[in-house]
């Protein structure tokens, strides 16, 4: 399972980083950084929460 970021869509709200702090964060410039793109079953709930909280649907799970 992989988290995929559509960077042009990202507006830097950062709600995903709050929902999945162990998987992603926004850097000092407000750019989203995926700390781990490959996620395991154990992280699935957190990854899903991050993807679903984004109001501009910039994230998806592939």
List interacting residues with other proteins (CB under 8 A): 9, 11-15, 17-18, 25-26, 29-30, 45, 48-49, 51-53, 55-57, 59-61
Q: Which two tokens stand for residue 30?
A: 């407000």
Q: Which is nearer to other proteins, 27 or 38 (CB)?
A: 27
Q: How far apart are CA 62 and CA 27, in angstroms?
A: 24
Q: Which is nearer to other proteins, 7 or 55 (CB)?
A: 55
Q: Least distance in Å: CB of 37 to other proteins?
A: 16
């Amino acid at each position: 399972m992989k988290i995929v970021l559509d960077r042009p869509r990202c507006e830097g709200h950062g709600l995903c980083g709050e929902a999945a702090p162990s998987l992603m964060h926004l850097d000092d410039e407000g750019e989203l950084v995926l700390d781990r793109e490959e996620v395991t079953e154990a992280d699935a709930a957190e990854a899903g929460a991050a993807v679903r909280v984004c109001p501009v649907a910039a994230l998806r799970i592939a």
